[in-house]
Structure 1
Amino acid sequence: MMNLCTLLQKIKENPVMYIDKPSITCLDFFVAGYLGQLSDLGATPEGYPMEGFDEWMQEIAETNLIKSWARIILFLFPGERNAFYKFFELFEKFIEQKDNSKIQESEDILRLRQDLWFPQFDIYNEIPSNIKKRPGMYLGTNSITRLDMLLRGYSLARREVGVPPTEPEREFEGFQSWIEEKYGINSGQSWSKIILFYSVDEHDALHKFFELFEEYLNRNKSLEIDENCG
C-alpha cells in the first residue's frame, strides 16, 4: 500500500490517470474519498502528511474563516489547473516546515486495526439513498465530477488495503459499460464525463446520473428475475 505522499506524487506526474485532469477540486474529492475510506477501514493515520494542512493554509491566506485547503488555494490562485499545480508547491513547503518526528514516509504511516475491518458503511450502497437525498452533505454541491472523484479515491483505498469489492461495488463496475452502450459511445471517457456531455451543467448531470443509475439497477434486477425464472 503506497503512502499518501507517494500517491500525491503519482497524481502530480499523471493527473489524467487518477482524476481525469489537473483540477484542484477533483484532487480534493479524490483525496477525501481515499483518506475517508482508509479511516473507515480502521487505518489510523498517525502524523500523516495532510494533518494540519488546512490550518497552515489558513495562516498563509491570513484568514480566520474555516475553509478547506482546496478552496483557499483556488481563491489565492484562480483557475482549477493553476491551483492544482500550486497545491504541490505549497504542500512541499508545508512538509518541509512540519516536525520531522510527525512525518512517516513508510508503510507504517497507517496502522490497521483488525477489529475495525470491513465496516458496515459502503458508499456504493449510499448512492441510491443518502447521497441522492443529500448530495450537499457528501459533495458540498451538486456535482457529478465530485461524486466520480470521491468514488475513485474510495475504491483505490479499498484496493490498496486488499479489501474485496462489496456486492454494490461490483454492480457499479458494470455501470461504465452500460452508459457507453446506452449513449452509443466507446471513446474511453468515464461515465461521469459522458453524462456531463449530454447535460446542461454539473447539477443537471448529477440529477441525470441518479435517474440513469436507478434505471441501471432496475435493469439488473429484471435480468436476475428472468434468469431465476428461466
Structure 2
Amino acid sequence: MNDLIEFLYKIRNKPVLYFGNRRNLTHLSNFILGFLIGREGTNKEIEGSTNWFTNGSFQDFVAKKYQITFSQSWDNIIEFHSSSENEAFDLFFKLLDEFLGK
C-alpha cells in the first residue's frame, strides 16, 4: 500500500487527530493535495497515488458512479450526494474502499 493510501486510512481511523471535531471533505481534499504537492519536491515518490488522484482515475470513478457528465471535482460530487459534512467524509472512504477493491 502506498504512503498516501496508508495515511488516509490512519485519518479514517482517527479523524479527530487531524481535523478536530469537524470531519470535512473539503479539508480532507486540501490535505491530500498538500500531501501530494509536498512530496513533489522530494526524492520519495508516492507510489501509485498520482494515478488515482491527480491523473483522474478516482475522479473518473466517482463521476461514473454518480453518472456525472460535466466537470465537477470528486469532492464536490460526493458532497452533493451527502446530507452532511460527516456523511460526505464517510462516503469518501466508502468510495475509496470500493475504488481500491476492498
- TM-score norm. by structure 1 comes to 0.38
Residue 12 of structure 2: aligned partner: 132
Is 1:149 matched up with 2:33? no
Shift of 1:192: 0.8
1:174-219: CA deviations, max 9, x gaps? 2111001111113222111110011012111001111111111117
Shift of 1:144: 0.8
| 1:208 aligned partner, one-letter code | L
Work out the number of aligned pairs and report it: 97
Is 1:185 matched up with 2:65? no
- What RMSD over aligned residues (CA atoms) do the two structures have, in Å? 2.1
Residue pairs, 1:8-47, within 5 angstroms: none
| 8 Å CA contact 1:144, 1:202 repeated in 2 | yes
1:53-107: CA deviations, max 9, x gaps? xxxxxxxxxxxxxxxxxxxxxxxxxxxxxxxxxxxxxxxxxxxxxxxxxxxxxxx
| 8 Å CA contact 1:124, 1:172 repeated in 2 | no
- Stretches of structure 1 that go unaligned for 5 or more consecutive residues are 1-120, 220-230
Give the ranges of 4+ consecutive aligned residues of structure 1 lying more than 4 Å apart after TM superposition: none
CA distance in 1, matches of 2:43, 2:67: 34
- TM-score norm. by structure 2 comes to 0.80
CA distance in 1, matches of 2:66, 2:5: 23
Select the structure with the greater relative contact order (CA < 8 A; seq sep ≥ 6): 2
Shift of 1:136: 1.2
| 2:5 aligned partner, one-letter code | Y
